[in-house]
Chain A
Amino acid sequence: MIAGLAIVDVATVEVFAQARSGWSGFFTLATLVATVAAAIRLATPYLIAAVGESVGQRSGVLNLGVDGVMLLGAFGAYYTTVETGQPWYGLLVGLGIGMVMGLVYAFITVTLHAEQGISGIGIYLFGLGFSDLLFRQLVGTPRPILGFDGIFDFTLPEGRLEIEYPDLYNHSLVIYLAFLLVPAVTLLVNRTTFGLNIRAVGETPQAADSLGVSVARTRYGTILIGNTLAGAAGAVLALEKGIFIQNMTNGMGFIAVALVYFGAWRPLGVLAGSLLFSLVTAAVLQWKTLGILSGAAAQLTEMAPAAVTIIALVVVTHRIGAPAALTRPFRRGAEH
């Protein structure tokens, strides 16, 4: 975890290094802004993966393989960018890999009715091992790549428009697109016929089936959406960090699954969860950099994001129930 985060946040660390140390250093506007900016960037992969996973879960399919798919997407994006120098191609390859993994997972869980929890863990282990294997075979020594530029880097000539705290705004286009997923998926689930099918299939598949809604087709659709976004989340992670390393997600996919529960299966809730998690992560990083925390305390605080998420999870999921058919394979004619 330490190694992973250290590489991710080269930019953040530089900002921190300039600041004063201690608590007084943390509570300056510049440092707080830098923390928030870092949190937004950190939140993006979680957000993309978790919003995608929420779609699958609304239709009754749990995918514990998100992390593995993210790793495959990350490697695909990294390798493509290394070879072509085009991060957009990398992103596309990440999406494509996610889609292929989605087809595999849908075939296993929907067509073959396999138990979802175990199948997902299988997908995770495959992704973990296979991404590393490909990396060793095809790349070997890590070479950094250039990811996406911030959207204000070229469009705004210097001095024409005053931007205060550019770090807050000047993210790459994909980060903006990731946040746009929230209204997009909300619209899909709540306002479209496909979304109505998703909600029905996730709650009472027998009812949907009796009205001629194909449970299988609906779940194939949501699994494809979820896995494609998981692939994209991995791609964005690799492109933002500019590198691929073995197991670079470090369990992010599992956190994403937890965030779906945290967000009570609503994209807006998932967004809130992703931001909360990332803010705590960024703040802890900041404290370490500023020397507020050191040694064992610093190690312990690395658990803070997970702990905060779990506590919030316990509070939230007591109020709102999961889709009733979550993790249940559907067979026509079988009684419940």
Chain B
Amino acid sequence: MSLAAPLLEMRGITKQFPGVLANDAVDFNLETGEVHTLLGENGAGKSTLMKILYGMYRPDAGEVLLRGERVTIDSPSAAIECGIGMIHQHFMLVPPLTVTENVALGLQSSRRPLTDLPTVANRIRELSETYGLRVNPDTPIWQLAVGERQRVEILKALYREATVLVMDEPTAVLTPQEVDELIVVLRRMAADGRGLVFISHKLHEVMAVSDRITVLRDGRVAGETTPATTDRSELARLMVGRPVQMVPDRPDVQLGEPLIEVGDLHVLSDRGDEAVAGMSFKVRAGEILGLAGVSGNGQSELAQAIAGLRPTQEGSVRIDGRDVTGEHPRRVRDAGLSYVPEERMRDGVIGMFSVAENLVLLNQGTEFSRRGFLRLGAIREHCRDLVERFAVKTPNIDVPTSNLSGGNIQKLILARELSAEPKVILAAQPTRGVDVGAAEYIHSRLVAQKSAGCAVVLISEDLDEVLALSDRIAVMYEGRMMGVLDRAEATVERLGLWMAGVASGAA
């Protein structure tokens, strides 16, 4: 073992999936004490590379070396034994079990066959103390907030003495302040002799946290750099392979009448508690209202209630002057609402239906049917036109929609919704999980609708997106509106405090 050998080295990793070369001879290495960012679009191969490292996939070619020694990692338990820890984007926690039980899962117990939870709980307390990861070991996971759940994930890896720690998009669910706290924790963990792989596509965080940055594109390494020698637009160019317009041009638009008015709306969640607790806002023609907030603060329920997909308890929704509170979704649409749902595969399209079928889902009883029969010719013509105008990348309009990428499915939904010539657009997390190129396109489309005199409600947990597009920005916290700011007054710090539930009076 040579001293010069890096903590982790992945050489020539190649992984072929049916139809996709996910990793093509990827080299990646990690030094002790370093935070090394893996940057790339969805589908660039970041997750595949890390799943190979964690033993969830077997590579077709290539090798993994730890401190210069070749290792075979064929299962997550082998990875754990090698000292590799992974914090998955979708938390790997068991909601009904306590923090301690989640940490103890899979570990040898000192009192076999019985569990030894008190010992585990004590060690958790020590670790939380050392790294400032506050959490009560006896609380069941389902009672924890998202930020706390992430601490549990980190504690799981620390408990297993991971020296290589992979964090897959750890900031996606955090408020800006929580992100700052996390960066401090990451730094401390790296300083204690670990190597951290940080996966993200949020460029300002990448610039803040990384020692080194490797950019993946289409399964290959597109470049390696450091924050000191690059900037955000350079990173975006490496990711996409062409220059990207980070902030869309925002034309000045004369504001018109309010097209959507929400008054003191109260909505229950599936669990029966009040998810939306009295929301009121108006959006005028030509205006984009950004609704920021950490997900799970009532945004989903608010959107569903406005679209008529969830009953309202109190309050009213008016679209273009018409009261549509509690109306059937069809009536709400007829009043002029178009809805881009958050769960696009569940609420936005029918995966098994073809692209064409999904594009005309809304057009029942229109020119596309006669006496209950579909007019296939007219439908095909209309759909070919939409696919072209909205740049949906699909082999043809007859393939099942589930075959398309997330970004193209979102463009398809946008094509359908905007072709209805709406007065109000309600877009929930429109670019979540969508690649940078498609996101850029979706942003430009929303801005174009504003110019055309639509009122746009943009619900997003991506502060950069909200700041770039909105005329006014509101923050939702625990079902309430923390406040509204004009674009000129809005800062990340101020919005961040609201997202954490801190009222501005205290600041």
Partner-B contacts on A (CB < 8 A): 191-197, 199-200, 203-204, 206-213, 324, 332-333
Contacts and interface: CB of A to CB of B under 8 A. Distances in A.
Nearest to A208: B105
Nearest to B80: A212
A323 to B, nearest CB: 9
5 contacts: A192-B114, A193-B114, A197-B106, A207-B94, A324-B95
A185 to B, nearest CB: 14
B115 A196 contact: yes
B57 A333 contact: yes
Contacts of A324: 95
Interface stretch (B37-45, B96-104, B182-190, B415-423): B96-104
Contacts of A199: 94, 96-97, 101
A203 B95 CA distance: 8
B97 A192 contact: no
A92 B271 CA distance: 47
Given A208-B105, A332-B56, A333-B56, A193 B92 contact: no
Contacts of B101: 196, 199-200
Contact of A203 (B90, B94, B156): B94
Given A196-B101, A333-B57, A191 B115 contact: yes
A332 B75 CA distance: 10
A213 B97 CA distance: 15
Interface in B80-122: 80, 86, 88, 90-97, 101-102, 104-109, 112-115
B80 A211 contact: yes
B263 interface: no
Main DSSP-derived SS at the B contact region:
loop
B106 A212 contact: yes
B105 A200 contact: yes
Contact of A213 (B91, B96, B106, B113): B106
Nearest to B54: A210
Nearest to B156: A211
B82 to A, nearest CB: 11
Nearest to A325: B94
Nearest to A212: B77
B99 to A, nearest CB: 13
Interface of B: 51, 54, 56-57, 75-77, 80, 86, 88, 90-97, 101-102, 104-109, 112-115, 156
Contacts of A207: 91-94, 102, 105
Contacts of B75: 212
Nearest to B111: A193
B96 A203 contact: yes
Contacts, number: 76
A210 B86 contact: yes
Interface hub of A191, A192, A212 (most chain B Cβ within 10 A): A212
A307 to B, nearest CB: 29
B492 to A, nearest CB: 32
Given A191-B114, A204-B93, A206-B92, A213 B105 contact: yes
Contact of A197 (B77, B88, B105): B105
A192 B116 CA distance: 9
A158 B77 CA distance: 62
A322 to B, nearest CB: 11
Contacts of B77: 211-212
Interface centre among B54, B90, B106 (most CB of A within 10 A): B106
A212 B156 CA distance: 12
Contact of B113 (A192, A206, A208, A209): A192
A193 B104 CA distance: 9
A188 B37 CA distance: 44
Given A207-B91, A213-B105, 19 more contacts: A192-B113, A192-B114, A193-B107, A193-B114, A194-B113, A196-B101, A196-B104, A196-B105, A197-B106, A199-B96, A199-B97, A204-B95, A206-B90, A208-B105, A211-B92, A211-B106, A212-B75, A324-B95, A333-B56
Contact of B105 (A191, A192, A211): A211
Given A197-B105, A204-B93, A212 B76 contact: yes
Contacts of B107: 193, 211
Nearest to A206: B92
A207 B96 CA distance: 13
Contacts of A332: 56
Nearest to B87: A210
B113 A203 contact: no
A142 to B, nearest CB: 43
Nearest to A195: B115
A203 B102 CA distance: 12
A204 to B, nearest CB: 5
A190 to B, nearest CB: 9
B88 to A, nearest CB: 7
Q: Which of A194, A200, A206 has the most CB of B within 10 A?
A: A200
A212 B113 CA distance: 17
Contacts of A200: 94, 97, 101, 105
Contacts of B113: 192-194
Contacts of A197: 105-106
Given A200-B97, A203-B94, A333-B56, A208 B115 contact: no
A302 B113 CA distance: 45
Residue from the set A196, A213, A324 with the largest chain B CB neighbour count within 10 Å: A196
A204 B114 contact: no
A208 B97 contact: no
Nearest to B91: A207
Ranked nearest first, the 7 interchain pairs of A and B with the lowest CB-CB distance are A212-B77, A211-B106, A207-B92, A210-B92, A204-B94, A213-B106, A212-B106
Nearest to A324: B95
B134 to A, nearest CB: 22
